[in-house]
Structure 1
Amino acid sequence: MLQDTDFLIPGLIDHFLIVNDTVRTCIHIRRTDFVGTGFHVPEKDFILSAMKFVEEKENNLLNMNYTTVFFTDDAGYVKTLLSEKFELKDGTVKNLETSSVISDTDSTDSILYSSRHCDTVLVTAPHSTFGWWLGYLSKGNQVYYTDLKFVNDLSFPAENFNPDDYYPPHWTPVRYGGPGNATVIESLK
């Protein structure tokens, strides 16, 4: 049907149908004010494993460009991640240096960017309200977050934090596969 329309009125489809061939995974990493507070601070190995998990789960469309956008309060730390690579199940090597950017925008612009461009969001700091809003207002509203039940965080054992009260039910909690297992898996709710 679209081909018939293009035949009758050449250029109509190109004028009104904008095809975006870029899929953006947005990663929120909050560290600086959480260090030493008892709140979970994401570690490099977990961030990379969680990114791999999300990429393999979400980015299965052919002929698409995949970009990672980092939102962080610690750009120096995230720059150390850019030298990393990991291999996906299909053999594709994800080179963070060539497929990622670190956002240097203010909070308002970051939220606006997320609402228009973030297809998937990974929140690595489960207490971050800014990360929560990035996910909640994201374009795709497909959000993964670090499961507090499986990290060393003082608020969860003290029963001061119930994840079910905080995260929408369609968001996906992720965690390490088990003791000594650095593979990230989906948590059961």
Structure 2
Amino acid sequence: MLESKEDFVMPAIKLATKFLKDRDQNLNLSTVIFGNDPEFIKNLPLDKIGHLQKVYYPKSQSRGEDMCFAIKYCDSMVLTASGSTFGWWISYLMKPGSHIFYNSQITDFANHSKDMHDFDIFPPHWHMLTVENDEAKLERKWWYQRHHTLPDMNNK
């Protein structure tokens, strides 16, 4: 599975914060960064992203504590490693109306069955993102639509 990479994380957070601010100009955005690679998190240049009032880096807790915190207190999520079942379940269990942004590329080469079956993994109201040339954009098409093919339903 594709891990979080700065070339996706930064444009994705920038797009998500702009998306949320465009919907509510009075919104005070605070960001909580969860992850299992403290060095990666620490080196993200989040100060270069506008619209963030505060950025929090909570000390490492158990996975259950991180999950409970995010589900209870977060109103949106940028799922940067879309193959992460941990991040997926946090997103899925968040409050109704939460905005979930996720990486359309699940694996390194975007050709794994999880990539091809994105329509069966991610709820359609979540915001699928692609990044090209350091710019994130909302993706409206599933993998099979972007590749001009029929969905592989794997009939057994």
> TM-score normalised to the size of structure 2?
0.76
The runs of 4+ residues in structure 1 deviating greater than 2 Å are: 59-65, 83-88, 158-161
Give the aligned partner of residue 140 of structure 2.
188
Residue 84 of structure 1: CA displacement? 3.6
Which of the residues 112, 118, 128 maps onto 1:163? Answer: 118
Change (3 A) 1:84 1:111: closer
Per-residue Cα deviation, 1:128-187 (whole angstroms, up to 9, x for no partner): 0000011111234321100027x733xx4243541111111111110114xxx2110011
Task: Measure the CA separation in 1 of the matches of 2:12 and 2:75.
Answer: 16
Q: Secondary structure at the match of 1:130?
A: helix
1:124 aligns with 2:87: no
Contact 1:144 1:173 (8 Å CA) reproduced: yes
Count of aligned pairs between the two proteins? 137
Q: 1:129 to 1:87 in 2, by over 3 A?
A: closer
Distance, in Å, in 2 between the alignment partners of 1:75 and 1:43 is 13
Q: In terms of mean alpha carbon deviation, does 139-148 or 46-55 score higher?
A: 139-148
Match of 2:8 in 1: 46
Classify the secondary structure of the residue corresponding to 1:184: strand
- Among 82, 89, 112, the alignment partner of 2:68 is 112
Aligned to 1:146: 103
8 Å Cα contact 1:52-1:86 kept in structure 2: no
Identity among equivalent positions (%) equals: 25
Gaps of 5+ in 1: 1-38
Which residue number in structure 1 is paired with residue 18 of structure 2? Answer: 56
Q: CA RMSD in A?
A: 2.2
More strand by share: 1
Give the counterpart letter for 2:103 in structure 1. Answer: T
User: Radius of gyration: which is bigger?
Assistant: 1
5+ long unaligned stretches in structure 2:
142-156
With the length of structure 1 as denominator, give the TM-score of the two structures: 0.64
Matched with 1:16 is none
**Corresponding residue of 1:29:** none
Q: How does 1:56-95 map to 2 (within 5 A)?
A: 56-60=18-22, 61-81=24-44, 83-88=45-50, 94=52
Q: Does 1:172 align with 2:135?
A: no
Counterpart Cα distance in 2 of 1:52 and 1:114:
20
